Structure 1
Amino acid sequence: MVGDVHTERDTEVLEGDTWLARVALRFTAFTERWLPDAFGFVLVGTFLIFALGLATGESPTTLVDAWGEGFWSLIQFTLQMAMIIIGGYAVAVSAPVARLIARMAQIPKSPRAAIAFTAAVAMISSYLNWAFSLIFTAILAKEIARVVRGVDYRALGAMAFLGLGTVWAQGLSGSAALQVASPASSPEAVQEIIAEGRDGEGIIPLTETIFTWQSVLATFVVFVVAVVMAWYLAPSPARAKTAQEMGVELRPLLAEKDGKEDAASGSTGSRPGDWLERSPLLTVLVGILGLWYLVRHFTSVEGNPVAAIDLNTVNLVLILLALCLHWRPVRMVEAVRRGTPAASGVLLQFPFYGGIFGMIAFTGLSKQIAGWMVSVSNELLFPPLIAVYSAVLGVFVPSGGSKWVIEAPYVIEAANQLHVNQGWMVVVYDLGEASANLLQPFWMLPTLAVLGLKARDIMGYTFAMFLACFPVVLVVVTVLAQTLPFP
C-alpha cells in the first residue's frame, strides 16, 4: 500500500521539479514496480545472452558447455573483489575516517546541494580508488540523509554510486590502463597486437592513456556534467522519499561508531591473548612489515613503480591501512565482520557473471558482434562505436579488467587498421565500460548493502544520469580522438 502511494506520488507532475527530476522519478517508479533485484537481473541476463548466441548461429550445446566452463573462471577475481570491498569498508568505518565523514556531512545545507555534493565526492574518491569510494560515499550519504532534512534518499544513494558509472576507470585504479602498461598484467596475445602498431613495443604507458591531457579533459568534462545533472536531478520536497519513509533507521555515525568500538574493546581480560587483541603492539609490527614489503615491491619495478599496482597490491594496502586506522586488532576484526555482508552479492553473483562471460568469450559470439561493428566503422566513427559496444557488453560482463581481455584483441587490431591512437582506445573503453554500471546493478551491491536499499530503488536515477552523461562521452571521445596521432 505504501509502495503504491509512493509510485502514484512519483508520477505526478509538480511545478517544483526540473525535467530531469521528472524523468528520474518516472524511471524510478518503473524500476520499483518492474525491475527484479540484482540477482534476478543476472539470471535474466544469462538467458538473454543464451538467446543471442542461438540467434547468431551457436549451437545450444556449445553455449551450455561455455557457460559451465566460464562459471568458475572468475573465482580468483571473485575473491579479490570480495576482499577489496571488505577492505574498503574496514577503512571507511575506522574512527579517523568516520570523523572525517561526520564533518563532511555538515557541508551541504539543502537537499539539492546534498545530492550534488554526494555526486562530486563519489567521483573524486572513485578516481583515487573505486572500492574505497563504494563504501566511503555510501556511509557519507547515510550521514548526510540524517543531517539534511527532506533529502530524497533514493537520489542520494544513486549519487553515492556515481563514481563507478563515470570516472573510476580513468583513475588510479582503472583496470584496462594498468593492464596495458604492465607486461606482467597484459596477456601476451594482446601485447603482440599492440606491438604491431608501436614498432615492436608491446605496452602502452599510462602517460599515453589516463595521463594524457585529452584523457584528463574528458574526465573533467564528464565530472562537471554529472555534478550539474545531479543538481537538477533532485526531486522537489513534495516528492522526496526520505530514509525514514524507506524504512531505513539513521543513527549518528560517531555515536554508533563509539558504541561499537566500546563493545569490541570490552574488558581487558586476564589472558595474554586478550591483551594482544587489544594492544596496538601487533598492529605496529604488522604495519612495519607490510610497509617494508610494499617499498620493496614498488622499487622492484624499474622506471615505472605504477606498473607494480595490481588488485592484490591494492587489497594489501587496504587491509594494512584499515588495521592501522583501527589501531587495535579486536576493532579490525569487528569492522571486517560488519563489512562482510556487503560482499555477499559479489560471492553469489560473480559465478553467474562468469557463466555469461563464458558464453561470450568461449564461443564466437563476441567476435561476430565486434566484426560487424568494425565493418561499418571508419576512423571517425570507431571511438564512439567502441564506447557504445563497451557499454552494451558491460551490462552483461560487469568487470572492467576481465572484459578488457575480451575486447582488447579486436579493439586494438581494428585501431591499427583504422589508424586510431591505441592509447585513446583504452580511454574510450574506460568511459564506455564505466557508463554501463549505471544500467546494471552489479557494482551497486556494496553501496546498497550499506544504505539498506535495493537496486530498483536507485536505478531510475542512475538511468537518468546515463541519458545525460553518455551522449557527452560519445561527443568527447569523437572530438578529442582527432587531436591524437597514430603511433
Structure 2
Amino acid sequence: MHLTNFIEKVFRRYLPSPFTIAIVLSVLTIVLALFFTEPEAGENHLFAILSYWEAGIWNNGLLVFAYQMMLILVLGHVLVLSKPMEGLIMRITKYVNNTSNAALLVALPTMLVSFFNWGLGLIFGAILARKVGEHAQAKGIPINYPLIGASGYVGLMVWHGGISGSAPIKVAESGHLKDLMHGASTASIIGSLPDSISTGLTVFSISNLVIFGTVATAISLLVFFMGKKIPPTTINLETYQFKHEKKEKLAGAEKLDYSKIFSTAFALLVLGVFLLQYLPAMQTLNITPNMLNFFMFGMALLLHGSFKSFLNAVEEAIGDVAGILIQFPLYFGIMGIMAQSGMIGQISDFFVSISNDVTLPLFTFLSAGLVNIFVPSGGGQWAVQGPLVLESASQLGVPLPKAIMALAYGDQLTNMLQPFWALPLLGITKLKAKEILPYTLIFMFFGGVIYIVGLLVF
C-alpha cells in the first residue's frame, strides 16, 4: 500500500493533466529542435521549427486518423449501452458467489471484449465491475470490490495488440507508412517500406495470438487465486442505471426516431454494404479503421433498435473523446517538428548505435511503456514514436510487424500504472485510483514478463 500511495502522490503532484503535458512536450520539442538540429542555409531556424509545428498540427492524414480513433472509442461505448449488452452483463453477474470467481468473470470477458474494441472493453469492464459489486451487495456475498474494479480495467493491458489497436490497424491502411515517414527519413528507406502491413501479420499473427492468449490466461488465473487470499471489503453502491430512451407521445415525423423497423432496416443496409465492401479484406484478415468503424456503426444501430436510443448513447459517450479531440493535433505538431527538423534521424541513429536486431524490439517495448506515461494515448504515441520505430527497424533489419507490436505491447502495459484511462472506470465503479493500483501493478508485472519473453521467443 505504501508503494501505491507513493505512486498516486507522484501522479497528483508532478503530472498535470494530459492536455498540459501535451503542451509542455510541444514546447520542449521546439526547444530541443532549436538547439540540436541544424538550420537550412539562409533560413531563420526558430521560424522554420514553428512552421514545422503548425504544419504538423493540421496534417490532413493525421487528422483523419484522429477522427477514426474517436469513432472507435465512441462507437465502442455506444455498443455497451445497448439493451443486448446490458442483458449480457446482467447474466454474467448471476454467476458471482465469491471474490475469486467474481474477479475471473470480470477480467476474462473484459480482456476478450477489449481485444475486439478498446472503447467497448473500457466501458464494458467498468459497468460489469459495477454490476458485480451491486449483485454482491444485494445478495450479501462478501467480495473484495477494489480487485473487481481492477479486473474491469485489465482490458487496457491487451487492447493495443487487438483489432482496434491504433498502430497495427493504421499501418494496415494503404499508403499510411509512407505518408507517416514523408520528410522524416531518406528516400531509400521510404522506398523500401511496404504499401501497408496487414493485420494478418500483426494482430492475427501466431505470435501475437499466443502472447494474448498467454496474458489472458495468466491474468485470469492470477485474479482467481488472488481472490482466495485477500479479505472482502465493504460495498455501498446505488443501482447504476442504463440510460434508454423514454417513451413519449409521438406525432408525425418524430415517429421515425423511435421506429424499430426503420432503424433495423438501415442497420441491415449498413451491414450489407459492409460485407460487399470489406469481405475480400476480411478473408485476408486485413482490418482497417474504416472497416472496424463501419461495422460497429451498423451493429450499434441494430442493437439499439431505434435512432433515438442510438443518439442518446452517442450523447452519453461523446465526452470520452475530449482528450483525443484536443490533444492529438498537439502530438501531430510534435511529430511535424521531429520529422522535418531531422530529430527522428538523430534519435533513431542513437537507438541503432546501442541496439541489434534482438534488442531493438525490447528497447522499443520499454521506451513505449515510458512514453505512455506522458502520452497516454496509443494513437498519439504512434504519431510521435511510430516514425522512430520504423526508421530504427528499417536500419537494423528488424521485421516491421514485430517492431510495431513491440511498441503496442509497451504502450498498453503501463496503462496499469498510468491512471488516465482508468478515469471512466473510477467514475462508474466509485472506486479511487489508490484502491485499484495495488492490483493493476501486479497485473503489469506479470504481463510485462510475458511480453518480454514473447518478444524474445518470437
Q: Output the TM-score relative to the length of structure 1.
A: 0.76
Question: Does the 8 A contact of 1:53 with 1:365 survive in 2?
Answer: no
1:180-259 equivalences under 5 Å are 180-188=171-179, 193=189, 196=192, 202-231=195-224, 236-237=230-231, 240=233, 242=235, 244=236, 249-251=237-239, 256-257=241-242
- 1:130 aligned residue: 118
User: C-alpha distance in 2, partners of 1:36/1:381?
Assistant: 34
Greater mean alpha carbon deviation, residues 375-384 or residues 113-122: 113-122
- 2:162 aligned residue: 171
1:132-171 equivalences under 5 Å are 132-148=120-136, 149-165=141-157, 167-171=158-162
- 1:369 aligned residue: 347
Structure 1 residue 131: Cα displacement = 1.8
- AA aligned to 1:236 is I
Over 3 Å counting, the alpha-carbon distance change for 1:72 and 1:413 in structure 2 is closer
Structure 1 residue 100: Cα displacement = 0.7
User: C-alpha distance in 2, partners of 1:332/1:123?
Assistant: 25
User: C-alpha distance in 2, partners of 1:381/1:36?
Assistant: 34
User: C-alpha distance in 2, partners of 1:428/1:338?
Assistant: 34
- What whole-Å deviation, never above 9, does each CA across 1:253-298 have from its counterpart, x for those lacking one? 6xx34xx54xx332333x2123222221320331233123212321
- 1:295 aligned residue: 275
- 1:395 counterpart = 2:389: no
- AA aligned to 1:266 is K
Structure 1 residue 459: Cα displacement = 4.3
Question: Does the 8 A contact of 1:128 with 1:172 survive in 2?
Answer: yes
2:11 pairs, out of 18, 21, 35, with: 35
Structure 1 residue 473: Cα displacement = 1.5
1:7-18 equivalences under 5 Å are none
User: C-alpha distance in 2, partners of 1:437/1:71?
Assistant: 26
2:399 pairs, out of 421, 426, 430, with: 421
Greater mean alpha carbon deviation, residues 411-420 or residues 132-141: 411-420
Question: Does the 8 A contact of 2:416 with 2:444 survive in 1?
Answer: yes
User: C-alpha distance in 1, partners of 2:331/2:52?
Assistant: 12
User: C-alpha distance in 1, partners of 2:272/2:64?
Assistant: 26
- What whole-Å deviation, never above 9, does each CA across 1:329-349 have from its counterpart, x for those lacking one? 222232223333344444455
User: C-alpha distance in 2, partners of 1:315/1:296?
Assistant: 15
- AA aligned to 1:92 is V
1:47 pairs, out of 24, 28, 46, with: 24
Stretches of structure 2 that go unaligned for 5 or more consecutive residues are: 38-44, 183-187
User: C-alpha distance in 2, partners of 1:237/1:190?
Assistant: 52
Question: Does the 8 A contact of 1:135 with 1:446 survive in 2?
Answer: yes
- What whole-Å deviation, never above 9, does each CA across 1:89-132 have from its counterpart, x for those lacking one? 22112111111100112233222332233222221111122221
Structure 1 residue 376: Cα displacement = 0.8
- 1:472 aligned residue: 450
Q: Output the TM-score relative to the length of structure 2.
A: 0.80
- AA aligned to 1:319 is F
User: C-alpha distance in 2, partners of 1:65/1:116?
Assistant: 52
Aligned-pair identity (%): 27
- 1:378 aligned residue: 356
Structure 1 residue 170: Cα displacement = 2.3
User: C-alpha distance in 2, partners of 1:131/1:412?
Assistant: 27
Greater mean alpha carbon deviation, residues 413-422 or residues 69-78: 69-78
User: C-alpha distance in 2, partners of 1:194/1:71?
Assistant: 22
1:276 pairs, out of 256, 266, 276, with: 256
Structure 1 residue 456: Cα displacement = 5.7
- 2:246 aligned residue: 265
Stretches of structure 1 that go unaligned for 5 or more consecutive residues are: 1-24, 481-487
- 2:410 aligned residue: 432
User: C-alpha distance in 2, partners of 1:134/1:382?
Assistant: 30
Question: Does the 8 A contact of 1:341 with 1:449 survive in 2?
Answer: no
Structure 1 residue 371: Cα displacement = 2.4
1:333 pairs, out of 293, 307, 311, with: 311
1:60-139 equivalences under 5 Å are 75-139=63-127
Question: Does the 8 A contact of 1:35 with 1:456 survive in 2?
Answer: no
User: C-alpha distance in 2, partners of 1:97/1:456?
Assistant: 29
Give SS of 1:437's match. Answer: helix
- AA aligned to 1:226 is I
Structure 1 residue 214: Cα displacement = 2.4
- 2:185 aligned residue: none
Question: Does the 8 A contact of 1:195 with 1:202 survive in 2?
Answer: no
Structure 1 residue 88: Cα displacement = 1.7
Question: Does the 8 A contact of 1:50 with 1:359 survive in 2?
Answer: no
Give SS of 1:206's match. Answer: coil
Aligned-residue CA RMSD in angstroms?
Answer: 3.6
- What whole-Å deviation, never above 9, does each CA across 1:372-404 have from its counterpart, x for those lacking one? 222111232222112112222333334434543
Question: Does the 8 A contact of 2:264 with 2:301 survive in 1?
Answer: no
Give SS of 2:253's match. Answer: helix
User: C-alpha distance in 1, partners of 2:142/2:179?
Assistant: 54
- 1:16 aligned residue: none
Question: Does the 8 A contact of 2:26 with 2:330 survive in 1?
Answer: no
- AA aligned to 1:430 is A
Structure 1 residue 327: Cα displacement = 1.1
User: C-alpha distance in 1, partners of 2:200/2:69?
Assistant: 27
User: C-alpha distance in 1, partners of 2:92/2:367?
Assistant: 38
Question: Does the 8 A contact of 1:84 with 1:315 survive in 2?
Answer: yes
User: C-alpha distance in 2, partners of 1:356/1:440?
Assistant: 21
Question: Does the 8 A contact of 1:82 with 1:347 survive in 2?
Answer: yes
Q: Which has the higher contact order (CA 8 A, sep 6+)?
A: 1
